[in-house]
Amino acid sequence: MTLQVFGLPVARGVAIGKAVLVASSRVDVAHYFINADQIEAEIGRVRQARNTVADELSTLKREMPDDAPPELSALLDVHLMLLHDESLTGATKQWIRERHYNAEWALSAQLEVLARQFDEMDDDYLRERKADVEQVVERLLRALARGESSALAPAAGKVVEDWGGEEPLVLIANDIAPADMLQFKQSVFKGFVTDVGGKTSHTAIVARSMDIPAIVGAREASRLIRQDDWVIIDGDAGVVIVDPSPIVLEEYRFRQRQSELERERLARLRHTPAITLDGEQVELLANIELPQDAPAALQAGAVGVGLFRSEFLFMNREGELPGEDEQFEAYRAAVQAMQGLPVTIRTVDIGADKSLERLSLSELRHEHTLNPALGLRAIRWSLSEPSMFRMQLRAILRASVFGKVRLLIPMLAHAGEIRQTFEIIARAKQQLRDAGTPFLDVEVGAMIEVPAAALMIPLFLRYFDFVSVGTNDLIQYTLAIDRADESVSYLYDPWHPAVLRLIAGTIAEARGASKGVSVCGEMAGDPAFTPLLLAMGLRSFSMHPSQIASVKQRILRSDTSKLALHVAQTLGSDDPQASFRKLAGDAGQIH
């Protein structure tokens, strides 16, 4: 039966595929694909876990005291029976063979199938047996976790290979952590849906960066959608259609083809210089997370990397920080891949929605704070760990020998932080000189993402060579909105007058001081904001490679000399969005 689930559209387009459910479990479950030659080894892990749990249950039954209630023995028999039932372990092996899931994922996927079957049973007693299945699966998952770690699990930062099956897949989950998104990054899924999240949650941002249709905040999606259901994700309307009729399916397939044609048209702009109608040259840079993303930036026509989010090198590492040499190799790989174009590397921005989940350093108290976005994150954490910070700085400086490198410092707000940062940079340089390690002087920039920094921009411009406006956090902190909290996400407003005035003031001050200024947050990659940012004087945008073509199209159609005439009136309005659209639209400057 066809049903519709509604949520927030966060990445445009249409995706059609079979549903893959990532079940939420009381036991952490790793999700990754395996290669064909690894299937038997992974099935061996399931077999070993089943034998381990069978021994445990048999021992419990054998050592049960005489006065134990008979029901307990009967319950253990049920669990043993379920453990050896082909509908559990046999079907789990089938997921591994046919879908190439790892053992943990295959178990949780089969649990979803069985749980729904039990939910549909009319008999109350049989329906309640679902809890027994869940308990058996959790025992198996714990046995897998206790056993020897799978040699097939992807190494930290390694992008998992693409799904090799023929059927398109879409991901359905309660939520997806940023670290998990790394595992799903390379087009394994054609789209995804989550129960929670807002338009600017990290999940939504990554969806847009992957350029795949996505819907968040769909509430009951992971409960209503079954494993292997055919699903349509309408990323324009925010609708998920489950088990669509043939007519609906054909209509959306037509829309899918139209969307692909539009992408092909935009792709032709790749080598066209980003110059406005009045001759203003605009710099379009790429945001990347890993060195492997650099080729996509070049392919999209980026003239450099405006933001290399180095924190992704620190994630999925089982509590182990990357060493200096490992970081250096990653930065060098990105710099060399950009073939002489500039690469701006941001120092680690751990905290808020990007945490080091299993890192055991006691200094990471932000893991336990009520609001990690206001806690020990970004430069605050780096300054609290000076040896780690110097290690990262040395690695970045060493990479400067291989191309044009710029250094970017996140979340600065205090003059004391600025001075302390430059002292540590100087110390890192001296350590390299003492060791005879070559490096070049690099430009140092500051992220403007805290209102205090935007209001103190003259001070920042005395210290830094350039500034980069991180609009995601700037909006969050200006409006006191946790962008990951769906209950207040509707208040997150990039068009808020206070936000626009802070951005406009930062751009104007930087241009007046002849210092470089860019925007690297979500607003930079949203074509709806391109004319206004151009009108404010912005000439450097940094975004995910997939967004460059659509932003370039808006730039090619814009006349900045005419757009600039409307900035003052727009910033003075209570409703800047309506004001700018009316003024510029009436003058024929927004197409």
DSSP secondary structure, 407-467, as one string = EEE-S---HHHHHHHHHHHHHHHHHHHHTT------EEEEEE-SHHHHHTHHHHHHH-SEE
Q: Is 100 among the catalytic positions?
A: no
Q: Is 31 among the catalytic positions?
A: no
- Residue 183 CA to residue 531 CA, distance in Å, equals 35
- Residue 128 CA to residue 118 CA, distance in Å, equals 8
For the record, the structure tokens of 183 come out as 């595992």
Q: Which residue has the tokens 């350029």?
A: 211
- Residue 461 CA to residue 509 CA, distance in Å, equals 8
Residue 481: what are its φ and ψ, rounded to 5°? -120, 125
Of 31, 79, 202, 366, which is the active-site residue? 202
CB 411 within 8 A of CB 349: yes
Mark out the alpha helices in 236-369 (DSSP H runs): 246-267, 294-299, 324-337
CB 213 within 8 A of CB 14: yes
* Residues in Cβ contact with 512 at an 8 Å cutoff, skipping those fewer than 6 apart: none
- Residue 510 CA to residue 459 CA, distance in Å, equals 11
102: exposed, middle or buried (C-beta count within 10 Å: 0-12, 13-18, 19+)? Answer: buried
* Residues in Cβ contact with 29 at an 8 Å cutoff, skipping those fewer than 6 apart: 22, 23, 104, 105, 107, 108, 141
Of 31, 79, 100, 520, which is the active-site residue? 520
- Residue 198 CA to residue 215 CA, distance in Å, equals 9
So which residues are the catalytic ones?
A: 202, 520
